[in-house]
Structure 1
């Protein structure tokens, strides 16, 4: 069900990003935001580098959080975490009951992804999860900045666009994801790096 709903300015959003791939366990960080204005909480967990546990671990991290009842949208920075640990966004939406928005800075290179997956014994399964995430749409970034690419589960396009506009305050990337990235890289590398 892709529903559009009324967006309050203080809608609770969980943005999730991963840290640098320094060892087998990869830290993921979630930031709970009220709209794009302020942070209400930080969640953390660990997934396996190139594993297939990201969906279940993210789902459990959300459901065990004291913020669970208030989170209205989950934002992911792409659908692969910790290398090629693919998130099944339909399953994540189903298990948590929360709509999922995938945000990407550029259109994925599917040929490159497909060739990389040939090195995995379960590459076909991972590819199925990637294709099941649905159509990739190009939408305007916040405040008229560079466009971003999105996929979605459980939310209509109009609601999604309103949420992106509301939360993209300092860049074309929504604040919940931008801050999750800063925290994750800062903790692992000693200082935040990369595009945020």
Structure 2
């Protein structure tokens, strides 16, 4: 392993380039990073080791000296129209809330949209609850990214597992497969 890359924020005991520690990531996340055609973007993703007992956002930010506005949440939604259900993920800063009833429903052209049940989200993504990340989502899923995330220098997201997080440039999050940046996704 090479020298540890510099962190843009936070105080973590262990961090490394995510590609160097693929064994610490959920399988879909490691696979997505390895296959990401944009090697510069893939190489910009950092992994930080964290305590899953300190996963609550406020406790996490205080424990690891992470600004709340640098933390982003990835939520899975189920959008329905007729008999069809479309699964999608939404990425928004932790200081905001995803507008599921208007922005998500409108963008996905659905009659109804709601947060997906935990079992459905975990089963479909192959990631742990509390660690779902936009990196490594199932093929074909839309990834709706709030414009504030895309504009952020760096954001902290899940790693696919409850232990550990990823830090990546906002522009890299906006370049993930299936990503669409929406100015009104969250508020």
TM-score by length of 1: 0.27
TM-score by length of 2: 0.28
